[in-house]
Amino acid sequence: MTETPGTSPDVVTDSIRLLAERGWDATTVDQLAQAAGISRATFFRKYGSKEDIVFADHAANLERLERLLDRPGADPAVALREGVLLVFRHHVDHRERTLARHALLRQVPQLRDRELITSHRYERVFRRWLRTALPDSPARDTLATALSAAAVAVHNAYLRGWLRAPGTDPSAELAAQTERLARTLVAGFDDAAPPAGAPAAAPPRPAVVVTVLDPGAGTEEIVASVREALA
């Protein structure tokens, strides 16, 4: 299935729009196949169930994201920015499909769980890549988890804003904010880590509470008693 911005609506877009207009429960796979001009068996083979076709384009987009990130030596902040922008542009460049899907999800609560699963798949791709792209350090896994979750959260916030005002294009702002976020988090973890070659911090000393039962005892007598007890 070719997904080129600006071409005529495809089967995925038409099916999502049909489901939104006629209603989820009222629309059958047979009707979707008929509208697409294909057999029921072909529809199932190419697109799966009704739920599958609503998110069918994301499988290909996840593959594009993985190819984009698979660049040895790339600056993690820059690559993360480009990855988030790729995902966002996929929604914006397929405007009618994204708006139809948003309308459908508002009608069908059960699809929102699938939307969350799809969002987590993007997060896993970012996290898996960051675990190899970030500099090796004890905090790398933690930083990869934090960065991937934050990047997807920022993307989703901008997407929600665009859905409310689809005539706008916040791509440039999203890209800048994502890179700034990445550099801030990486720098924060670097600042928290001890410099390379620095001696390990000494373990904290145990707290000792001394109770003086003789109110007339002097300091030297107290210290001598403590030393004697420790000896």
| Domain ranges (residues) in the chain | 1-54, 55-192
Q: Which CATH class is domain 1-54?
A: mainly alpha
pLDDT, tens digit, 9 for 90 and up, residues 68-94? 999 888 899 999 999 999 999 999 999
pLDDT, tens digit, 9 for 90 and up, residues 188-210? 886 655 555 555 555 555 555 55
Residue 103, SS3? Answer: helix
- Could you please report the per-residue DSSP string of 58-111? HHHHHHHHHHHH--TT--HHHHHHHHHHHHHHHHHHTHHHHHHHHHHHHH-THH
pLDDT, tens digit, 9 for 90 and up, residues 42-74? 999 999 999 999 999 999 999 999 999 998 888
Residue 220 has pLDDT above 90, yes or no: no
Between 114 and 229, residue with greater pLDDT:
114
| Distance, C-alpha 13 to centroid of its chain | 25
pLDDT, the chain, mean: 85
Q: Are 65 and 129 in contact (CB under 8 A)?
A: no
pLDDT category of residue 6 using cuts at 50, 70 and 90 = very low
Residue 161 has pLDDT above 60, yes or no: yes
Residue 221 has pLDDT above 60, yes or no: yes
Between 1 and 44, residue with greater pLDDT:
44
Q: How many whole angstroms separate alpha carbon 103 and alpha carbon 94? A: 14
Equal CATH topology for 1-54 and 55-192 = no
Q: Are 46 and 59 in contact (CB under 8 A)?
A: no
pLDDT, tens digit, 9 for 90 and up, residues 17-45? 999 999 999 999 999 999 999 999 999 99
pLDDT, tens digit, 9 for 90 and up, residues 169-180? 999 999 999 999
Whole-structure pTM value? 0.77
pLDDT score recorded for residue 2: 39
Nearest C-alpha neighbor of 55 from the set 103, 13, 92: 13
Beta-strand runs (E) in 63-213: none
Fold of 55-192: Tetracycline Repressor; domain 2 (1.10.357)
pLDDT score recorded for residue 103: 94
Q: How many whole angstroms separate alpha carbon 157 and alpha carbon 174? A: 10
Residue 227 has pLDDT above 80, yes or no: no
